[in-house]
Amino acid sequence: MRAQFTTKPDISTKYNMSDYFKLGPMVVLYVILISFSICALAVPVVASDYVSNFEWLPAVENRPPQVGHWNRTPTVIVCEYAPISEVQIASAIRFWEHLGYNFYTTQYKYDPLGKCTADNPMGYIIIHLISSGIRMDDSSLAQTHFYVDNNTKTIDWAKIYFRADIRDTVLEHELGHALGFLHFNKINHLMNQKWEMGGWDKNGLENKRR
């Protein structure tokens, strides 16, 4: 039976499943690319560099799928041009802290170690304004890339890109991806793929590992 909750249009990784099995016990790292779409009728565009390895994802125990966890406590950096205010990031961090997640610290437009421009900012969640080098579907509000060790299922880093018009729930939704959650297309749920069908329902997002 096919899964009820499809995430096919915008879950993409570097490897497809057949490559993954061929690689056997090797540590496979992959980037998951997810976008939060604004228009229900838009045809999602999959970046051509990536090959999806998720045809569909089952709804596990009727909660959003989570494909990775942080082993270290991530630091969040709001980078220089990111269209996020200090109040917005503080509120979004509090939202996830109430669900049992920890963040080491939040650096607001302060990046002494140059993590905002690092290729692999291990241990960080990096927040950017979308730039010309990043491809994003016109109907998307934001996009999150996160890097998961496919053997240990630990998340090494995440990068979030926003368009300039930030709306309610989008920052919290993208932080959800940065914490390993995929889409869950229940009406009014925070992790709904379509912004206008989403909302503040946080069912299944609590940290079960604390």
- Contacts with Zn ion by CB under 5 A lie at 34, 36
Return d(Cα 90, Cα 85) in angstroms, integer.
Answer: 9
Whether the CB-CB separation of 107 and 76 falls below 8 Å is answered with: yes
Q: How far is the CB of 11 from Zn ion (least distance, A)?
A: 9
Closer residue to Zn ion in complex, CB, 111/148: 148
Return d(Cα 165, Cα 63) in angstroms, integer.
Answer: 29
Q: How far is the CB of 26 from Zn ion (least distance, A)?
A: 29
Question: What is the Cα 206 distance to its own chain's centre?
Answer: 16
**What would you measure as the largest C-alpha separation in the chain, in angstroms?**
51
Closer residue to Zn ion in complex, CB, 34/175: 34
Provide the β-strand partners of residue 69. Answer: 154
Whether the CB-CB separation of 9 and 44 falls below 8 Å is answered with: yes
Q: How far is the CB of 5 from Zn ion (least distance, A)?
A: 13
Q: How far is the CB of 183 from Zn ion (least distance, A)?
A: 6
Closer residue to Zn ion in complex, CB, 53/107: 53
Closer residue to Zn ion in complex, CB, 16/185: 185
Using CB positions, name the residue nearest to Zn ion. 36
